[in-house]
Structure 1
Amino acid sequence: MEAFLNSVTKALVSIDDFLYYPVLIIVLLAAGLYFSFKTRFVQLRMFGESIRVVSEKPSKEGAISSFQALMVSTASRVGTGNIVGVSTAICLGGFGAAFWMWIIALIGGASAFIESTLAQIYKRRNPETGDSYGGPAYYIETALHNRALAVVFAVSLILTYAGGFNMLASYNLQDTFKAYGFYNPSVTPWIIGVILAILVGWCVMGGGRNIVKVTSTLVPIMGLLYVAVSLIIIVFHIKLVPAVFVQIFQQAFDFQAIFGGIAGSCMMYGIKRGLYSNEAGVGSAPNAAAAADVSHPVKQGLVQMLSVFIDTLLICTATALMCMCSGVTPTADIAGAPYVQQSISTVFGGFGPVFVTIAMVLFAFTTLLGNLYYVDNCLAFINRKMPSRAFMTFFRVLCAAVILLGAGLSMDAAWAIADILMAVMCLINLPACVALGGVAIRACKDYEKQKAEEKNPVFRAKDIGLDDSNLEYWK
């Protein structure tokens, strides 16, 4: 049995390596650069505006605000990948991986802007509540007139978030317990998996609005505490900071070493872990973006662009610098949670591993909840309405079982499954965004024109050359 599992894991890793190089690295960078130039680097020009619009209140009482939509998408983005993913990239790829994470975030900010703006433009209205909903499946169906491809995307998202990502989050959480004496590799992962599955199952039975409330409360607290502790570690090792940055840039531009073994290089680990962490262009965040009540679609495009920066340029960087400045040598043996725990222990002693475990519990929990929020949206799309209560109960029990299964996976299998499924989503969503990108770019120009006239931008389809009869929400 063990030999069979090892063979399956090797096959998954091989598929993973091929999908990311050469396929996905070309698609990601090409799409991100294309959107960056077409929007005149909206991720830099309008960064200040993105901070301003996130605080706007919805026009309708009880509607989902820009801030709440940001928290749902950030709950999914900010997760175990910000701790374990960054650690794994540095231990297996080297310090240069941090640089390539930054590049993916900067370029990916434009992709995040385009996909979330499109989700707002082509979103739909719930006739019973008046709330809005949407995402890539909806703009693929409505704008590209391709229901079959939209369903394939929806299925890939369900498999990715209810399957691959949730299994990985469960695995990463149990990995933090290796630092404790009671950890038994044959028993402990399953115990942790059972507890996590029960907690998540109980929470999601309450439906989407409960998820919004829980995540909007936990995410800011979780992020601020983690960044604060990271800064303390960096300050205690401030003398090492210059040498760390020298190593980051030396390794990031050592192309001879990168192309000598690209699958295991700092470039590939930085791109993989950066994409897994911020999800720019994957097609997940637009599902949350479409739910926000805003006067103009570009407002949510800017908000979701900001979420990418919060995830990678703030939280992932906090983990990277904390670990690299700690003086602990990264090796393959401590890849994952152990590297982060040892790094924090250089200042906080025995409290270090405990803090990482607490942080991972919060990160994992909010990730799992945010993921299942997206899944509900795609189930409704495939069925053309929310499935029956009996089906949803069965499905959520199944999701809980998948979380349990993930706790018992090997590290290579957990990461490979998540990477492969995420790649499939990207390879559907990004070409769709390129095909429809002109619509989002015209919306951006319309937004900027109204801002220049000192107006609060309001969206009218005809102003960007669209027929509003095709836009259910904005008629």
Structure 2
Amino acid sequence: MEGLVSLANGIIWSPALVYLCLGAGLFYSIMTRFVQVRLFGEMLRLLFKGKPDNDGISSFQALAVSLAGRVGMGNIAGVAAAIGFGGPGAVFWMWIVAFLGASTAYVESTLGQIYKERDVVTGEYRGGPAYYFERALGQKWYGILFAIASIVACGVFLPGVQANGVINAVAQVAGEGSAMTLAGIETGTTRLIALAIILVVLGFIIFGGIKRIATFTEYAVPFMALGYIILALLIMFTNFSMIPQVFGAIIGDAFTAQAGFGAAIGWGVKRGIYSNEAGQGTGPHAASAAAVDHPAQQGLVQAFSVYVDTLLVCSATAFMILSTGMYNIQGELAEGQFIVQNVAADVEINSPSFTQMAMESVYGNFGDTFIAVAVFFFAFTTILAYYYIAEVNISYLTRSMGKGASKTGQFIVKLVIMFMVAYGALNSSGYIWGLGDVGVGLMAWLNIVGIIVIFFVARPAIDILRDYEAQLKAGGGTTSNRFTFDPKKFGIKNATYWEERHLKEQQRVNADPLHKEPK
């Protein structure tokens, strides 16, 4: 099985996907006239503007859910792996894929908002790549293909990566405990106790639906990210004299990489996408659940989430590791042969170990414990986001089968994801990370190709960005001049939610002669 996973990874994560991700980000940056820079201030303003309604969550809650998916093991163990396999220059390419990927995140999340619909069981807003591939392209088979890929990736492959990181971090702090064998797997009592706690809390939250997930992540995500960044900044101040050297290593190694130029780009892009998920197609699911006045608003909020994930949290991890020197760089030719070796050879690269050691070198045992706690929150909230994505795609596949089929499908997904959390927690981390990479790669291939084709078929995300900017310049966003969106004005078909909403607004305007229609 491990050999098959490795073979699949080699095919999926060929240089073609690496350059497709970078190329799509550059393409949409140009097409949106670098929206990630021009409307940065508007992104910040929108974070706290929207309010939830009976069927949707607020913009900030949607941001928190999507950040729950973005801010996870990729920010702690993923950055360590990028440095360990690709050298410091890999961090530079993580920055590049984040900057360019912010435009991709805008496009995919705006598309999710345009083509969202109400769930047949809960009445909540549902949307994502499967929905916009069917409605924008008219290719239902492609939507079904993406839905299946995302259920397999987010429901089966990816949860184990997060759970594995949590269990490893706890075991490094508390020890393995008494050795025992469970279902043929050798493990320790510490891992089993930690796993039991995770499963109980996870079950309580996911059986409560998107509202409960959004409420939990709304508080947990800002708390964990802010605390992590503050401690990282303290380490940077402690090693203030090292900052120029760290920047020099990252920039200088980006094009003359210690581990090879291809390794730096490959690992930087791979772990960058794994971390910030721009282009992967995960962000649109949470974005579609938000209640907003204009689809472009949530696209802008989701673009900002890429910055938070990579330019803040991932950079914090990189500076901690590089400034303290707690890392090895493995050569491409043979496992166990290092280009740079600063720590013991048996320290696992695909784990939070480098980050824990960096924290411990400054804060002692507190640093080690804090990373274990951070890993728990980062990974746990990501598992919640993965569950929600799998649930949305189950809803997509079963929406024409009746409420009974949809409820059954969602219940099965809950059980599967809890099983995979247990399986991933107790198995080899290298093998589990390989499965995660397969899941990320499959979704990225399908989504990026799809949104590029949509551009040449229609261009809805670009057209409504111009509409939003025009309304913004005209003073939109006030009580007397709210943002409006009429999909028919742009020739956008099958945007049924927005068509119905615009019709109701027009009817309300016509019924009230004193009400002034927005400009």
TM-score by length of 1: 0.92
Instruction: Determine the C-alpha separation between the residues in 2 that align with 1:131 and 1:9.
Output: 39
Q: Which moved more, 1:101-110 or 1:48-57?
A: 48-57
- Find the counterpart in structure 1 of residue 490 from structure 2: 464
Instruction: Determine the C-alpha separation between the residues in 1 that align with 2:433 and 2:70.
Output: 16
Q: Structure 1 vs Structure 2: percent identity of aligned residues?
A: 36
Q: Go from structure 1 to structure 2 and tell me whether the alpha carbon gap of 1:323 and 1:256 turns closer, same or farther (over 3 Å shift).
A: closer
Could you tell me whether the CA contact under 8 Å between 1:157 and 1:378 is conserved in 2?
yes
Q: Which moved more, 1:118-127 or 1:54-63?
A: 54-63
After superposition, the C-alpha distances for 1:79-135 in whole angstroms (9 at most, x for unaligned) are: 121111111211222111110100110111111000011111111135787642211
Q: Go from structure 1 to structure 2 and tell me whether the alpha carbon gap of 1:127 and 1:62 turns closer, same or farther (over 3 Å shift).
A: closer
Confirm or deny that 1:353 pairs with 2:372. no
Instruction: Tell me how far 1:247 sits from its aligned partner.
Output: 1.0
After superposition, the C-alpha distances for 1:272-319 in whole angstroms (9 at most, x for unaligned) are: 111001100111110111111111110011001011111111111111
Confirm or deny that 1:455 pairs with 2:476. yes
Instruction: Determine the C-alpha separation between the residues in 1 that align with 2:413 and 2:32.
Output: 40
Instruction: Tell me how far 1:325 sits from its aligned partner.
Output: 0.9
- Find the counterpart in structure 1 of residue 287 from structure 2: 289
Instruction: Determine the C-alpha separation between the residues in 2 that align with 1:239 and 1:226.
Output: 21
Confirm or deny that 1:369 pairs with 2:366. no
Instruction: Tell me how far 1:157 sits from its aligned partner.
Output: 0.7
Instruction: Determine the C-alpha separation between the residues in 2 that align with 1:88 and 1:257.
Output: 12
Could you tell me whether the CA contact under 8 Å between 2:287 and 2:302 is conserved in 1?
yes
Instruction: Determine the C-alpha separation between the residues in 2 that align with 1:200 and 1:465.
Output: 43
After superposition, the C-alpha distances for 1:58-88 in whole angstroms (9 at most, x for unaligned) are: 3846741111111110111111211111112
Instruction: Determine the C-alpha separation between the residues in 1 that align with 2:406 and 2:297.
Output: 34
Instruction: Determine the C-alpha separation between the residues in 1 that align with 2:223 and 2:259.
Output: 40
Alignment of 1:184-263 (within 5 A): 186-188=186-188, 189-254=191-256, 258-259=260-261, 262=262
Could you tell me whether the CA contact under 8 Å between 1:121 and 1:471 is conserved in 2?
yes
Paired amino acid for 1:458 = T
Gaps of 5+ in 2: 180-185, 331-345, 478-482, 500-519
Instruction: Determine the C-alpha separation between the residues in 1 that align with 2:437 and 2:421.
Output: 17
Instruction: Tell me how far 1:416 sits from its aligned partner.
Output: 1.3
Paired amino acid for 1:205 = F
SS of the residue 1:250 aligns to:
helix
* Residue in structure 2 matching 1:9, options 2, 12, 21: 2
Could you tell me whether the CA contact under 8 Å between 2:116 and 2:131 is conserved in 1?
yes
Alignment of 1:26-45 (within 5 A): 26-45=19-38
Gaps of 5+ in 1: 1-7
SS of the residue 2:208 aligns to:
coil
Confirm or deny that 1:110 pairs with 2:103. yes
Instruction: Tell me how far 1:190 sits from its aligned partner.
Output: 4.6
Instruction: Determine the C-alpha separation between the residues in 2 that align with 1:142 and 1:271.
Output: 30
Q: Go from structure 1 to structure 2 and tell me whether the alpha carbon gap of 1:435 and 1:388 turns closer, same or farther (over 3 Å shift).
A: closer
- Find the counterpart in structure 2 of residue 397 from structure 1: 415
Instruction: Tell me how far 1:193 sits from its aligned partner.
Output: 3.3
Which gives a bigger RCO, structure 1 or 2 (Cα 8 Å, sep 6+)?
A: 1
After superposition, the C-alpha distances for 1:298-343 in whole angstroms (9 at most, x for unaligned) are: 0011001011111111111111111111233435643221211110
Instruction: Determine the C-alpha separation between the residues in 1 that align with 2:462 and 2:124.
Output: 25
Q: Go from structure 1 to structure 2 and tell me whether the alpha carbon gap of 1:38 and 1:392 turns closer, same or farther (over 3 Å shift).
A: closer
- Find the counterpart in structure 1 of residue 316 from structure 2: 318
After superposition, the C-alpha distances for 1:427-464 in whole angstroms (9 at most, x for unaligned) are: 11112111223111011111111112122332111332
Q: Go from structure 1 to structure 2 and tell me whether the alpha carbon gap of 1:322 and 1:257 turns closer, same or farther (over 3 Å shift).
A: closer
Q: Which has the larger radius of gyration?
A: 2
Q: Please report the RMSD computed on the Cα atoms of aligned residues, expressed in angstroms.
A: 2.0
Could you tell me whether the CA contact under 8 Å between 2:121 and 2:407 is conserved in 1?
no
Paired amino acid for 2:328 = P
Instruction: Tell me how far 1:191 sits from its aligned partner.
Output: 4.6
* Residue in structure 2 matching 1:442, options 463, 486, 508: 463
After superposition, the C-alpha distances for 1:341-391 in whole angstroms (9 at most, x for unaligned) are: 110112211111111111111111111111111111111100016645455
Could you tell me whether the CA contact under 8 Å between 1:193 and 1:406 is conserved in 2?
no
Instruction: Determine the C-alpha separation between the residues in 2 that align with 1:191 and 1:9.
Output: 27
Instruction: Determine the C-alpha separation between the residues in 1 that align with 2:34 and 2:116.
Output: 25
Instruction: Determine the C-alpha separation between the residues in 2 that align with 1:256 and 1:230.
Output: 25
SS of the residue 1:187 aligns to:
strand
Q: Which moved more, 1:93-102 or 1:173-182?
A: 173-182
Could you tell me whether the CA contact under 8 Å between 1:63 and 1:293 is conserved in 2?
yes
Q: Which has the higher helix share?
A: 1
The aligned length equals 462
